Amino acid sequence: MKVSFDDLHKAFESRVRLGIMSALAVNDSLDFSSLKEFLDVTDGNLSTHIKKLEQEGFVSVNKSFIDNKPNTRYSMTMEGKKAFDEHLGVLEQIINSQKES
């Protein structure tokens, strides 16, 4: 077996970023507190990782107001979905290569 570890995306090496992408893959959009609750991380930690995914172009941010209160929602971009799917595909190869042995 030859798994292409290089195809694992560096942006998803972090557990928190893997978690953010997993959550956004199955929800059209999520707000900060939902993501925080889902991942059980601190505000600062989550902010840092969301910013990194934004910079990669994998997550988009939509700021609006609901009842005059600011509401920020995060979504996965098409580019993010493509990269994340590829990443999971390589992880699956790794898992399968272990099962064959």
- Cα-trace Rg, the chain: 15
Q: Is the Cβ of residue 40 or residue 67 nearer to a second copy in the bound state?
A: 40
Nearest to 24 by CA among 75, 73, 63, 58: 75
DSSP state of 8: S
Task: Single out the segment in contact with a second copy by CB under 8 A; choices: 1-9, 42-50, 51-59, 67-75.
Answer: 1-9
- Residues 21-50, mask of contacts with a second copy (x by CB under 8 A): -x--xx------------xx----------
Candidates 8, 50, 59, 83: give the one binding a second copy (CB under 8 A). Answer: 8
Distance CA 34, CA 36 (A): 5
| Residue 94 vs residues 8, 36, 42, 70, 100: alpha-carbon distances, Å | 10, 29, 31, 42, 10
Q: How far is the CB of 89 from a second copy (least distance, A)?
A: 9
Nearest to 12 by CA among 43, 53, 44: 53
Which residues in the 79-98 window bind a second copy by CB under 8 A?
88, 91-92, 94-95, 97-98
Residues that bind a second copy (CB under 8 A): 1, 3, 5-6, 8, 10, 13-16, 18-19, 22, 25-26, 39-40, 88, 91-92, 94-95, 97-98, 101
